[in-house]
Amino acid sequence: MRFSIAIPTWESYGRGGEFLEDLLRTIEIQTLKDFEVCISDHSENNDVLDVVKTFEDKFSIIYSRNSEKRGNGPANTNKAIDMCSGDIIKVMFQDDFFYDDESLEKINNEFNTTDKTWLVNGCNHTQNDGHSFYWEMYPKWNDRLLEGVNTISSPSVVSFKREVVNRFDENLVYFMDCEFYYNMNNKYGPPIFLNDVLISNRVGDHQISTHVIKNKQEYISRETEYCIGKYKK
C-alpha cells in the first residue's frame, strides 16, 4: 500500500524549518519507499519552504502555502490530509519524527494482516535537542478521552486508511487528538494497537500545548463541555 505522510507546518516560534528538516531526514531513511509527503504550511515566512526545496529531489513532496484559518492547528492538519492520495495516511506533526527507520514498514505490515481501518503506535519523548529520549508510551484505550485523559498520545501516532478519512475538529485545541480518537472509534471501531515505539514526540516551549497549558483548566472545562454536547446530539 502507498503511504501519504500528512504534515501541517508553521513557524514554530522560529524553529519550524529546523524541526521539519529533522523529520524529513527520518522519512528519507525509511525502508518502505512507496510514499508521498504532503505539507500544508501556515508559515508567513519561507523557512519551511526553503527546507522543502532541499528534499524535493529525494522523494515526492507536495507543498501548499495555506493562508486559510492561519493559527488553527486542526484546520491546517485537515488541509494536509486533504492533499493526500495514498492508501494509508500517516499524520506527523513537524516537531516530531520517526524513531525507527522501519516505522512505515511496520505500520504497513499491520494493515496487511487485519481489516481494521486505523492504527495507533507507541512513542517516546525527547527534549528540544532531539537526541535524548525518555518516557516510552504505549497506546491504550480509556473511556475518559472527552475529558482530556489521553492514553494514546499526539496525532503523530495515528495512521488510517484514506477510505475512512476523518476530520480533526477545528473548534478544539487541547482536545483535538482525544476527540479525533473518540470519533474514529465511534465510526470505525477500535484501532490496531501497535506497541512498537515508532515515533518521537518533541517536548518543549515551542509547542502550542505548552501555551495552552498555562490556561489548562479553562481549556479543559470549555472543551469538555463542547465535546460532551457534540456527542449527546
CA distance 185 to 233: 17
Q: What residue segments make up the domains of the chain, in order of their start?
A: 3-232
Distance CA 19, CA 27 (A): 13
Q: Give CATH superfamily name and number for 3-232.
A: Spore Coat Polysaccharide Biosynthesis Protein SpsA; Chain A (3.90.550.10)
Half-sphere exposure for 146 (CA within 13 Å, toward CB): 16
What are the tens digits of pLDDT across the range 137-186? Answer: 999 999 999 988 999 999 999 999 999 978 999 999 889 999 999 999 99
Rounded distance between C-alpha atoms, residue 10 and residue 20, angstroms: 10
Listed residue (97, 119, 105, 122) closest to 27, CA to CA: 97
Q: What local confidence, expressed as pLDDT, does residue 196 receive? A: 98
Q: pLDDT tens digit string along 25-84? A: 999 999 999 999 999 999 999 999 999 999 999 999 999 999 888 889 999 999 999 999
Is the whole model's pTM more than 0.85, yes or no?
Answer: yes
Residues 6+ apart with CB under 8 A from 107: 3, 88, 90, 119, 121, 159, 194, 198
Angle, CA 18 vertex, CA 173 and CA 80 arms, to 5° = 45
